[in-house]
C-alpha cells in the first residue's frame, strides 16, 4: 500500500498549480490531505475519481476557509470516522480516519502555536489527542497517523535549531511531547527509521526565499504503529512537488 500525506495549504489553490497531474504520476493508493481550507461542497470529487480515487472523504472546520482535512482512496474502507468525538477538536476539522481490513489510516492536522492562546490550545490538544489515540489503539492496533504535526522533533529536523529553540514548532515541551507520543503510545517515525542521518524538510516559509535556500522544517510525519513496524518498506519526503509551502511525504507498506 502506497500512502501519501500532503498539507496542501488550500486544496483549491493546489489544484490550480497542477496537483492532479502530480497525483496521477505519484500513483498512490491513499492520499491524506491537511489544511484543505474548503467545505465538502467546494471540492469536486469527480476530478479525483477520474484518477481512480473512487472514495473521497472530507472533514471541514466550522469556520469556512480554515484548517480541514481529507482522505482520497482507491480502496473502499469498511468504516470512515469523522473527527475524534472531542467537541473542541472537531470544530476545527483536524482528524479524519479510514479503516480497512488490516490497517487504519488517519489524516491529522495538529494546531500551530501562533500566539500564547493558540500555544496553550495546542498543548491541550496534544494531551487529549495522545489519550484518545492510546484508547483507539486498543481497538485498532494497526494504525498509521499521517499529517502535519507542526513540530520538529530533533535538531536534524530544522535548519537553525539554536536560534529557533524558542519558537513554537521547536519548543522543548513540543519536542518532548512527540518523543513521549512515539515511545509511550507506541509509534515509529517511518522516515527517520529508514533515513537516520538524512537532512530533509517538508515545510518552508514563503518569506526570504526560504525554499530556494532550503531553510526548512520537517513538520510532516508518517507515524506507524509499532505493531506493523515490520511492514515499512519505504518512507521518503518529496520536495519536488511544489503546490504548497509544504511538500508531500510518502510511505510504502508491504
d(CA 182, CA 223): 8
**CA separation for the pair 10, 228 (Å, rounded):** 32
Residue whose cell numbers read 538524512: 198
The span from the CA of 13 to the CA of 242, in Å, is: 12
Phi, psi angle pair for 75, to nearest 5°: -110, 135
Three-state SS at 108: strand
CA angle 190, 250, 103 (to 5 degrees): 70
Of the candidates 26, 134, 137, 11, the one whose C-alpha atom is nearest the C-alpha of residue 66 is 11
48 grid coordinates: 479525483
148 carries an active-site annotation: yes
Q: Helix, strand or coil for residue 184?
A: helix
Which among 29, 99, 148, 220 is annotated as catalytic?
A: 148
First-to-last C-alpha distance (Å) of the chain: 7
Strands 30-34 and 2-7: parallel
Number of H helices and E strands in the chain, helices first, is 7, 14
> Would you name the residues annotated as active-site residues?
148
Amino acid at each position: 500500500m502506497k500512502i501519501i500525506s500532503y498539507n496542501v495549504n488550500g486544496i483549491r489553490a493546489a489544484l490550480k498549480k497542477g496537483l492532479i497531474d502530480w497525483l496521477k504520476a505519484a500513483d498512490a493508493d491513499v492520499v491524506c490531505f491537511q489544511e484543505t481550507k474548503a467545505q465538502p461542497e467546494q471540492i469536486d470529487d469527480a476530478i479525483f475519481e477520474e484518477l481512480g480515487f473512487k472514495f473521497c472523504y472530507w472533514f471541514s472546520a466550522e469556520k469556512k476557509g480554515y484548517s480541514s482535512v481529507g482522505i482520497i482512496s482507491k480502496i473502499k474502507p469498511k468504516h470512515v470516522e469523522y473527527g475524534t468525538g472531542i467537541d473542541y477538536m472537531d470544530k476545527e476539522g483536524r482528524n479524519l480516519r479510514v479503516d480497512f481490513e488490516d490497517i487504519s489510516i488517519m489524516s491529522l492536522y495538529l494546531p500551530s502555536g501562533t500566539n500564547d492562546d493558540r500555544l496553550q490550545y495546542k498543548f491541550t490538544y496534544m494531551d487529549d489527542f495522545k489519550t484518545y489515540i492510546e484508547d483507539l489503539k486498543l481497538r485498532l492496533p494497526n494504525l498509521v497517523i499521517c499529517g502535519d504535526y507542526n513540530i520538529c522533533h530533533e535538531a536534524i529536523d530544522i535548519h537553525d535549531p539554536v536560534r529557533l529553540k524558542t519558537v513554537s514548532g521547536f519548543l522543548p515541551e513540543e519536542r518532548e511531547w512527540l518523543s513521549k507520543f512515539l515511545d509511550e503510545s507506541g509509534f515509529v517515525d517511518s522516515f527517520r527509521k529508514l533515513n537516520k542521518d538524512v537532512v530533509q524538510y517538508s515545510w518552508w516559509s514563503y518569506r526570504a526565499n526560504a525554499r530556494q535556500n532550503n531553510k526548512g522544517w520537517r513538520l510532516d510525519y508518517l507515524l506507524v504503529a509499532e505493531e506493523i513496524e515490520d511492514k515499512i518498506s519505504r518512507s521518503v519526503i518529496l520536495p519536488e512537488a511544489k503546490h504548497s509551502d509544504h511538500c508531500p511525504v510518502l510511505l510504502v507498506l508491504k
